[in-house]
């Protein structure tokens, strides 16, 4: 079972397009393609921080004489941090955009979580 937090905008409480589901835990796509995952979710500050970290690792590593293998390892650590904290960054960004955490849903996947949330919301509990 996966756990999702559900975020809605109070001004659009009944608009299904204004509901965002964020998975708890590690974000695997964020580990492998952080430079695409961050802007896909509108995390521009996170993208800026990630790019600055990579630039600092490259420039600082070259200036300090750190070997390329160690620089690559540090880049992997930066990507790992995005994977570990990416979904938490999403929640914070949604809060800044005036979304409110409305519910927590446990389900096998995103589609099942959406079905469960909207069924409970409409009053027809799903079995």
pLDDT tens digit at each of 127 positions of the chain: 999 999 998 876 566 678 999 999 999 999 999 999 999 999 999 999 999 999 999 998 878 888 999 999 999 999 999 999 999 999 999 999 999 999 999 999 999 999 999 998 887 554 4
CA distance 47 to 78: 11
Q: What are phi and psi of 65, to 5 degrees?
A: 75, 25
What's the pLDDT at 110? 96
CB neighbours of residue 102 within 10 Å? 17
Give pTM, 2 decimals. 0.82
Handedness of CA 24, 28, 29, 32 (dihedral sign): positive
> Can you give the pLDDT at residue 14?
63
Q: Order of strands across the sheet with 19-23?
A: 19-23, 2-8, 100-107
């Amino acid at each position: 079972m996966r756990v999702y937090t559900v975020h809605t905008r109070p001004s659009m409480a009944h608009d299904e397009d204004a509901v965002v589901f964020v998975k708890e835990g590690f974000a695997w796509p964020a580990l492998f393609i952080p430079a695409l995952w961050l802007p896909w979710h509108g995390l521009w500050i996170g993208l800026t921080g990630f790019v600055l970290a990579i630039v600092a690792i490259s420039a600082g590593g070259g200036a300090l004489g750190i070997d390329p293998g160690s620089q690559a390892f540090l880049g992997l650590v930066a990507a790992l941090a995005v994977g570990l904290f990416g979904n938490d960054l999403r929640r914070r960004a949604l809060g800044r955009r005036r979304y409110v955490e409305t519910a927590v849903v446990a389900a096998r996947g995103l589609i099942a979580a959406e079905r469960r949330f909207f069924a409970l919301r409409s009053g027809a509990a799903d079995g």
